[in-house]
Amino acid sequence: MKPSGYHPHHSFFFQQVLFALVLLGLYGCGTAAEQTATTAEVPALPVVQVGTSGMTTWQEFPATLEGKVNIDIRPQVEGYLERIFVDEGAAVRKGQPLFRIDPRSYQEQLSNAKANLMMARANLDKAALEVDRLTPLVQNRVVSEVQLKAARSAWEAARAGVGQAEAGVETAQTNLSRTLITAPVSGYIGRLPYKPGSLVGRAEPQPLTTLSDVGELYAYFSMSEVDFLAFTRQSPGRDLADKIRKAPPVELLLADNQPYAQKGRIEIVSGQFDKTMGAISFRAVFPNGQRLLRSGITGRIRIPTHHDAMVVVPQEATFERQDRIFVFALADSNKVESRPLRILGKSGNYYLVADGLRAGERIVRDGLDRLHDGDVIAPKPVPAGGNAGSLTTSL
């Protein structure tokens, strides 16, 4: 039995309403799913704004250090090395004894020279007496003048013999004094290749030692033609000599990558380029009052250049492609585009950018490996970081 008031038309109406509600529910679910999927496809990535900073870049050049004075100590006479008064690496004062060569043969030579001098002086006295004896006899015409001339000639020869003997004594004394070798300057002793008893002389190719005055040290380094031109362009001054005088103090980075406590100055440059090496040589002078440095050690010279305002970017916001460095810059509609950068220097976590970005632009900091040109992101602003500090260009 059908309920009261029932009509077939009413049943059809209810079916149509139920079907519409089901379709609306299905459409709503589909739209939400599509929106969720669309949102998931747009990554939220951290973005930093590019800023500028005044900072200093450093050019680095390999250097070799030498003492202000490096003297090869060589024997001036031949003989057996009798004694060595110093040890390797010892500090010595000017005039301090270093070596002694066996002096006995030279003492004998001096004794013989003195004996020859005595004989020469005796001959001179004898010749002078003969001249004195003959002079009045010639005046009284007792003997001929020829005999007096002969006597005077003998006296001249005797006098020359005395001069020759005196020179022999001086030579023997000089040779004897050279058997004791003293320090010509204050400094430090180098290696001692010879031992007591070794036969040494002027013909030996190797010196007895090398004495270095390291109160100041010279750091020798070379610049390529490109670096030299950059140095001359960036340095103030009318000419090269003026530019070197006005060049800022330079730093010395030692072999352990630690900076030397005192700064130096560029003092000299060679007159021309070495064609074989394609470089020009410089010399920087560093004080070494505490004698902490020695000749022969190596390091790197760091020449500073100050930049008033340059664009800096963190290195984690960059990537490499075909030996070039890029960033993803944020364009219109939050689309990203890759930008090649020309890097002037780097230090720590920052690049100093010469070209490719402008101050105020935004770049993606993380997630670069998932991005391509034209991708859309949801930017998450983050601080750009602190001052980049001093930047270094390693050459």
Among candidates 71, 76, 96, which has minimal Cα distance to 178?
76
Quick check: helix, strand or coil at residue 56? strand
Q: Residue 251: what pLDDT?
A: 94
The phi, psi pair for 143, rounded to 5°, reads -125, 160
For 37-47, b/e burial (b = at least 16 CB within 10 A) is eeeeeeeebbb
pLDDT band at 389 (very low <50, low <70, confident <90, very high): very low
Model's pTM, two decimal places?
Answer: 0.60
Checking if the pLDDT of 93 tops 60, the result is yes
Q: Residue 74: what pLDDT?
A: 95
Among candidates 237, 224, 213, which has minimal Cα distance to 282?
224
Q: Are 86 and 383 in contact (CB under 8 A)?
A: no
Q: Residue 308: what pLDDT?
A: 77
Q: Residue 307: what pLDDT?
A: 75
Encoding tokens for residue 281?
């040589």
Interatomic CA distance for residues 374 and 372, integer angstroms: 6
pLDDT band at 388 (very low <50, low <70, confident <90, very high): very low
Beta partners for 69?
A: 213
For 257-276, b/e burial (b = at least 16 CB within 10 A) is eeebeebbebeebeeebeee
Q: Tell me the per-residue pLDDT of 10-64, one tens digit each, with 9 for 90 and over.
A: 554 545 545 555 444 544 444 444 444 444 578 889 999 988 877 777 888 999 9
Domains of the chain with CATH codes:
44-59+307-394 (2.40.420.20), 60-66+214-303 (2.40.30.170), 75-102+179-206 (2.40.50.100), 104-177 (1.10.287.470)
Beta partners for 281?
A: 222
Q: Residue 16: what pLDDT?
A: 56
Supply the DSSP string of 322-374, one letter for each residue: TTEEEEEEE-GGGBEEEEEEEEEEEETTEEEEEES--TT-EEE-S-GGG--TT
Beta partners for 84?
A: 99
Residues contacting 226, CB < 8 A, separation 6+: none
Name the percent of the chain lying above pLDDT 70. 86
Q: Tell me the per-residue pLDDT of 231-269, one tens digit each, with 9 for 90 and over.
A: 888 788 888 888 888 888 999 999 998 999 999 999 877
Torsion angle of alpha carbons 349, 247, 288, 213, nearest 10°?
Answer: 130
Interatomic CA distance for residues 8 and 6, integer angstroms: 7
